[in-house]
Every structure is written in structure tokens, then in C-alpha cells.
Chain A
Amino acid sequence: MEIKSMHFKANASAKLADVVLQRNLKSSKGKFVAKRAEAIKDLDDFEGTRDAAAAIRNKVIDNLDLWLERFERKALDTGAKVLWAKDGAEVCRLVVEIARKHGVTKVTKSKSMLSEEAGLNHALEAAGIQPVETDLGEYILQVDNNEPPSHIIAPAVHKSLDDVADLFHKVHGTPRKTDIPALTREAREVLRGHFLSAGMGLSGGNFLVAETGSVALVTNEGNGRMVTTIPKVHVVITGIEKVIPTLEDLSTLMRLLPRSATGQSISNYFSILTGVKKPEEHDGPEHLYFVLVDSGRADVVGGDFHEMLRCIRCGACMNHCPVYQTIGGHAYGWVYPGPMGSVLTPLYAGIENAIDLPHAATLCNQCGVVCPVKIPLPDLLRKLREKQTERGLRPLTERIGLRLWAWVAQQPRLYALGASVGARYLKWLAGDTDRIRLLPTAPEWSLGRDFPAPQGKTFRELYAARQTRTKEST
């Protein structure tokens, strides 16, 4: 997917001014938050489960080479084929090759964020192979001129019922429906035909189980089951970091993933797929391929952002992020929005291509508090800011400003003078009120909010007065 994160500021401003989007964001705001809060109540030891989940993920990523080799060996034993892709281009090349080898002209897809990273649909179309998105949200976006997803769990969360009603009326040529069950039924009927006629099913992978060489898929709609049960070829596209050790570990992680994502105690379907159809079986694919994708992950291993590889893609961080709630997912400009996206986008798509994202956070730590695998997202965002400074990527005015401030801060007298003049200036700006409507030195900052005026004496004046009192009393 083409990265547009370098235009974050302009995009975010446009999203704030987008009346329809703001109305849709407002109506969906807080729904996932409330459901998650309710769902975690039935875990007696939620914190202990989070610790256990983080430990499971650490166990693998801390020795990722060995776990990958182990998973590969087990998967090969089951009759699957294991392929490796360095980047999105290689993902596209491999998947097109597999499709051609099996004479496939149509591919049904269950949601795969990695295929979004790779821009796979575009590559399939270019090769004359029809990709059909089957997750309802992804389908809505595909038929709306391939609009990118704005959320990793609810890709079309930015769209209203009216938007979908108009879209289906236009695309399906059916009478306009405004009833959500009727719209869902319409999509079901269109997609059922595709499920039955596609030669190849394509899915992501929530987890890869090293013990058994299986892929685990978490879905609600049943499309994940369709694309892995009906076509004769199944291709799993997944990141190299998705391995977990055992089936027991899968159970622990499943207590957290659906709860953190949608507030469900378990997803409707949870499928653990191992190997290919046996000759006497009625259904299942005859060919199973794993495409294990790097696309920037290998270089994160063992470095400053290693902990990010624990991520299980639940979306809780974006659901709880005040910035995401205000601007929606598209403003982030790539596949992953919200706090996890603000860390992953610079890491996978280039730190210089996403300068604003690590700053698109208030560092309030809502994301860190809700993360089921305890990724310290605010710390990682701060580290990315440090990297930008180290690499001289910040704007010149900011760099000069910070240097100047550093110099002044080392001259106590000058600093005191500056603080006292500054405080008087701010008080003068506030006039008789306790707030400043427009800051002439930072007009952008005060565009949407007031700056509180300094009250009473400065810290230094108070400190000096206290020193005098202490001296007098001794």
C-alpha cells in the first residue's frame, strides 16, 4: 500500500473538517471501549493473564530464529509448503505464482493486513486474477473503489449505514435498503457465489502454532472458514513474528484477543488449521501454502523496538486513543492506524516517511494500559521521537529553538529573567481574564483551545520568599 503518512498534518486537518466523518466517529466512539471493559470482568486474574500473554510472546520473539525453524519443520511435516518473502513485492510475486500454478482466476480473501501492506489486490488484478474481499467491512471498502481500511478490526468503521446503503444500491443495482440485516444478507448472497467458485482462498494468520505447524484464525462472520474449507488451494500470508509455542498458549492468548478487540469472551469461530485434506475427506484444501513475511520485521528483532513484535493486532490501543477517536484511521496514511500504527509505520515504511506519527499522541498511556501483551507504546513513541532528533529529521526551526532553550536553561540568571518577563507578558495578554485566547508566538496551538494565564508569583519568586522566611525563623 502506498504510504501517505508524510501528509499526516494536512490529512488530520482535513479529517477534522470532514463533517460526515466526524459524525460517524462520534456515533461509534466508546462502543468498543465499553464492551471491552465489560468483557474483561469475567477473567478473575486479568493482569496475570496479560503477564502470561506477554511472556508467551517474549518467549518466541526472543528466540525467533529457532521458533520459525521449528514451525517450518512441523508445517512441512503436515504436508504444507512454506515460502518466505522479504517484502511486499515478493509476497505479490509468490501469490501470483501459486495462483498461476493451480490455474486460479479468482481468489476469495479473508482479512489480511499483510496483503494490504503488500498491495496484493492490485498485483492480482494486474495478473488477471480477481481478488474478492469477503470480510463484510473489507468487501464494503473494495466495492467502494478500493478504499483503504481505517481500522484493523472494523475496517469500515468510518462509514455510516447511509453510506453503505447508497453504496450497495449503486454497486449491486438493487433497491436501496436501510436495514442493517437486509444489507448484510445482500452481501452474503453476493459473496456466497464467490466462495463456491473461487479456486483459491487467502487468509491472514492470527497465530502460527510451533507445536503442531498450524495456523489459527479468529473470525466472526465465517468467511475465514469459507476461504479455508471450500477452495482447493489455501494460502496463509502472515508476519514472521506470529509464531507461538503451544496449543495451551493459544488458549491463554484467546482469553485476551477477542475481549481486547471487540469485547467478546471468544470469537464465533476460532479455527486451527493443520495440513491438507486427506483423500477420503469431503472438504478442505488439497494444497496449503504459508507465506512468511519479513517486510521490516527482521530488522526490529533485538533492537530498541523489539517489544513491538509482541503485538497481537487486537486494535485496543486505537479504540482507546483520544487522537484516533478524533481523526479516524485514514489520517495515519498507511495500513496500521492509532498508537500501534504510529510505531509500526515508521519501523516498516521508513522513519523519514512518517515524521509526524510518533507525535500524534498525547502520551496519556491509555494504549499502554489496555494492551493485552503489555507493549509500552508511549515509551516506544518517545524513542521514535529521539531517533528523529538523532538523525536530524526534525525541522530546522525546532532544532534551533531547542538549542537556544538548552543554552538559556544553563544560564540561571538569564533563565530567571526570561521566566519573569515571560510570565508578565502572558499575564498582560490575559488582561482581566484567567485565559489567553490567542498566543501570538504559537497561534496554531491556541486555535482550538485557550492557554491558561499564569497565576500569582513565579516559582523562583516563591522559592526566594521561602528561603528568606526559613532564614528569618532560624
Chain B
Amino acid sequence: MSSRDDILGRVRAGLQRNASNATIARDEMLAALTNCSQGPKPGIDAEPKALLERFRLKSELQSSTVDIVAHESDAPAAVARYLAAMNLPKSAVAQPALAALDWAGAGLTVEARGARDADLVGITGCFCAVAETGTLMMCSSPDTPAAVSLLPETHVAIVRASRILPYMEDAWALARKELGTLPRAVNFISGPSRTGDIEQTIVLGAHGPYRVHLVIVAD
């Protein structure tokens, strides 16, 4: 007997599985998968300005820094400002999805591609953001490779205010609507990577970025 059959056989024996209770259970399973019912959620003011404010506050609590600009075309200058203020290099890797922005115009040398180990700054967009916890939702694709938000020591993310949603549940609904199926990797990111493994002291920059800067586009 295969291990699969042996394991499932013992599970079925434990549950006293038979044809009639299997039919009922299968119907319940299909109902659960169709209904996608939600659990209790903390109350959040879903008015756009309040959402933006909550997202900003929660992001800062996660040790991200936040800047707000009026239009997407202002984003490269905001990124350049941040890099200069932090004394960081003016060259960066950006997800191909952001290739069309005028990076050179802001004085930055930006290559739109997947990330390499030597890249010090990674610039990404995000699929949407979650106000409840101050979290970015990143969906991988050829235009949005996952490693750009992971390998570089600095991660700068451009977030459209209109894509800030109250809850993670809303993000799933949006993904089902716009993408149909889940991409290979959905990464929810809440601030720089960190560890507390030595004496429970939180240190930023464990294996991923040391710092995360968010440029929110208000339009």
C-alpha cells in the first residue's frame, strides 16, 4: 500500500468515514469553498482619507517611512529625494512595470529588470495595500519580480492611494477579480525585515531590506 493510501485510510477510519457522511461532508466543503465567509474584523473607517491616514500610521509603526506625492509622475523625484537624504546610491533596480517613469529626469540611474545580489536599492510598485496592518501586497509576475523587494538593502515602494483597502479580505477579493488565479508568489510586506532571535531584541535588516520607504501617490 502507498503511504498516501495508508495515511488517508487511517484518517478515514478515525473519522468513521462512510458513503453517507462523505456526501454530507463534501457538500459542506464545497459550500465553504464557495461562500468564503469572513471572520470578525476590527472596525476601520473606510473613508479614503481615513484609510490613507491609517495606512500611513500603521506603516510607520512597522518601521517604514512614508512620503506622499500628488501624481505618479512626481514619484521619481520623491525617490531621488529619499535616497539623497539617506545618503544612499543614486542607482537602483526597478520592477519592469515601472520602466516608463522618468527616472533619468530625477537624476537616477534605474535599470528595469529582476534583482541581483549586488543591487543596493530596489524600487517596486504593489498590487494593493492593506490599511488594517500597514501592509503591502505584492503579486509576482514577469513585470513584477519578487526579488526586487527582497535582495536590496533598501526597498522603495510606490503605492497608489486608491489601492489602499481596509482589510486583507478585500485584497483577496481584488485579486480574484483582477487576476483570476493567484500568482506564483503573493508577498505581504509590513516594514523592513527583522529578527528578535538574540535576546528578543528587535534588529532591522535580517536577511531582507534594512529599510522600507513608501511613496504614496494621492491621485
Contact = CB atoms under 8 A, between A and B. Distances in A.
A245 to B, nearest CB: 5
A97 interface: no
A353 B16 CA distance: 29
A266 B188 contact: yes
Given A52-B39, A66-B25, A68-B8, A221 B206 contact: yes
B196 interface: yes
A62 B21 CA distance: 11
B193 A268 contact: yes
Contacts of B13: 302
Interface stretch (B70-78, B84-92, B103-111, B139-147): B139-147
Contact-size category for A:
35 or more
Interface in A19-54: 27-28, 31-32, 42-45, 48-49, 52-53
A68 B196 CA distance: 34
B192 A183 contact: no
17 contacts: A65-B17, A86-B6, A154-B197, A161-B199, A181-B205, A225-B146, A225-B208, A245-B29, A249-B39, A255-B39, A266-B190, A270-B187, A274-B181, A278-B184, A281-B145, A294-B7, A299-B14
Interface of B: 2-4, 6-8, 10-17, 22, 25-26, 28-29, 32-33, 36-43, 58, 62, 113-115, 117, 133, 135, 140-142, 145-147, 150, 167-169, 172, 181-201, 203, 205-209
Nearest to A274: B182
Interface string A179-221: 0110111001001100110000000000000111010000011
The 6 A-B pairs with the shortest beta carbon distances in the complex, nearest first, are: A222-B208, A282-B114, A302-B14, A252-B39, A221-B206, A301-B14
A277 B114 CA distance: 13
Given A63-B25, A221-B206, A230-B147, A160 B199 contact: yes
Contact of B147 (A49, A137, A283): A283
A137 B197 contact: yes
A323 B7 CA distance: 35
A276 B13 CA distance: 34
A160 B36 CA distance: 45
Contacts of A49: 39-40
A343 to B, nearest CB: 17
B3 A184 contact: no
A423 interface: no
Contact of B208 (A183, A221, A280, A303): A221
A286 B14 CA distance: 37
Contacts of B208: 221-222, 225-226, 268-269
Contacts of B172: 247-248, 251
A288 to B, nearest CB: 9
